Amino acid sequence: MRSLSTYSLLCLLFVASVFSLDTITRAGRYLYNSTDGSRFYIKGVAYQEEGTLGSDAANSLPEPTDFIDPLADAPSCQRDLPNLKTLGVNAVRVYSVNASLNHDACVQSLADAGIYLIIDLSQPVNGSLNRDFPAWTTNLLDLYIENINAFLNYSNVLAFNVGNEVVTSPAETVAAPFIKAAARDIKAYLRSKNSTALVGYSSIDGDQSWRGPLANFLSCDSDADSLDIFGLNNYEYCSTATYSNSGYPSLVQDFTNYNIPFYFSEFGCNVEPRLFTEVASIFGPNMTGVFSGGVAFGYFQATVPGFNLVNISSDGSTATPNSDFNNLQQQFANVTFNNTPSESSAGSTSFPSCPQPNAAFLASTTLPPTPNDELCACVANSSFSCVFTPQTTNTTAIIGELIGIACGLLANQGSNCDVISASGSSGTYGELSFCDPGTQLSWAMTAFYELNGRNPASCSFSGNATINTAGPSSSAAAEAAANSCLAAAPTGTFTPTAASSVPPVTAAATSSTSSSSSGSKNAGFSKSHQPAELIALSVVTIVAALGGFWTVF
């Protein structure tokens, strides 16, 4: 037998090292270490440097246009590891990652230090659920799966978050079915890969009239479509506050009977001095019956001043702890974990009935289907006669407006865009409502082109559309092809797989111009936590009427 090469031995040592941490499991409403059955509490810190911010006059916290993946920056990770060890954290939360980069060195170092990862799957610009016009689409599912695949072999992944502060008001609770569908599909994918990673969501701390129903909605019905862990971003314990006047008692009361693990996915009010005395409450006897720890915000400086724990030198070579760091370190050092209840006494997780819609909570209990790449590609490749061929690489800037124009034109002629519309309040989802915005736009352009007798002028859209000469020869052929795709594809809920390597023909077969319909994946982290996705579905919902799949023809 041939001896192992030095490289192979290093690979084996790497795998052994990464798989050295205990698996964290859920029992009842608590987290436990798999080895000894002790309760696990998240004692973490938010760990991501802010990317370049865009400009938005309407938003004091504009969204970033890029991001820095801290888990792919090995030198900076090594720079920060001593500080993370000094803090005594057992978890870091990272808001955006780049699946195309290598994370081995940093993740191994964190694993060796006993530090778990909480990874948000979304990215700014195009890669997140949009709170104003929510949709659960193929481009988002594919992005989430790509990011999961980049971390599947690491044992210290504690959880993947499917969203962060997507809902911030009662009106935005229409997004809840899309969050829940994302959790359902990501859980199914992880289980198909034998992953033990938990699936979570981080909520803004809003009024209990909708915050409570949202939390309950995301953990209702069954294990298959519920979160594994729910996080709350909470900053109400400031400066010299005490447990009794902090608002924490009301939170404990509100979540006393919550059915899944619950933790602060962010805490640390930036009112000086940041004493972090809330740590004693979070990990103390008043709260550990309900809470499973928390994540302090944040290691790096954000746009809003006063949140950073370290100061990074101009050349990036050093990270110097500040007084906030020292205060947090002292508080974390005094934490002792309460092991009550034991894992054997925690019971099984129950899943109550879902809350019904009301004036403060608008979400339907009917969830959108699993996004289907194959169906979208099949319909696009076989039935589109007029396709999106943008005159710019910045499709994000035009695609929403173009869908609005196309659907508005259809509405003016008595037709509709119901096939590509989705409503989280009524629970109605069109046959192509889960396709990426580029595919949806090509559908609307094709519908208008066919409705107008294939008049070449109706497939222009200011030069952003092109007649697909390789497409169907007639409206009847287009309808037959689309129906064939629908008949052959799985519908409803199913276990998703990695995206097909063959993209749909949404950038004309007859044009030299091509475009990524999902937009750029080079995005970033922002304290506002709501990256702006393509706004395509906004106008779709507005102009949609009732109708069949191809009634426009």
- Is 533 annotated in the active site? no
Buried b (16+ CB within 10 A) or exposed e, 213-251: bbbbbbbbbeeebbbbbbbbbbbebbeebebeebebeeb
Give 213's DSSP letter. H
Q: How far is the C-alpha of 182 from the C-alpha of 199, rounded, in Å?
A: 10
Domain ranges in the chain are: 32-343, 373-543
Per the residue annotation, which of 165, 172, 431, 533 is the catalytic one? 165
Give 243's DSSP letter. T
Nearest to 320 by CA among 309, 331, 329: 309
Answering whether pTM is above 0.85, one says: yes
Per the residue annotation, which of 49, 50, 172, 266 is the catalytic one? 266
Per-residue HEC secondary structure of 302-340 comes to CCCCCCCCEEECCCCCCEEECHHHHHHHHHHHCCCCCCC
Do 32-343 and 373-543 have matching folds?
A: no
pLDDT of residue 514: 28
pLDDT of residue 50: 84
Q: How far is the C-alpha of 277 from the C-alpha of 331, rounded, in Å?
A: 7
- Is 374 annotated in the active site? no
Q: Top-level CATH class of 373-543?
A: mainly alpha
Q: Are residues 400 and 132 in contact, defined by beta-carbon separation less than 8 angstroms?
A: no
- Each of the 553 residues of the chain gets a pLDDT tens digit; together they read 444 444 444 444 444 444 469 999 999 999 999 999 999 999 999 999 987 665 554 444 556 667 899 999 999 999 999 999 999 999 999 999 999 999 999 999 999 999 999 999 999 877 899 888 899 999 999 999 999 999 999 999 999 999 999 999 999 999 999 999 999 999 999 999 999 999 999 999 999 999 999 999 999 999 999 999 999 999 999 988 999 999 999 999 999 999 999 999 999 998 988 999 999 999 999 999 999 999 999 999 887 888 999 999 999 999 999 999 999 999 999 999 999 999 999 999 999 999 999 999 999 999 999 999 999 999 999 999 999 999 888 887 899 899 999 999 999 999 999 999 999 999 999 999 999 999 999 999 999 999 999 999 999 999 999 999 999 999 999 999 999 999 988 889 999 998 764 444 443 333 322 222 222 222 233 333 333 333 334 434 333 332 334 443 3
Q: Top-level CATH class of 32-343?
A: alpha beta
For the record, the structure tokens of 97 come out as 């990652």
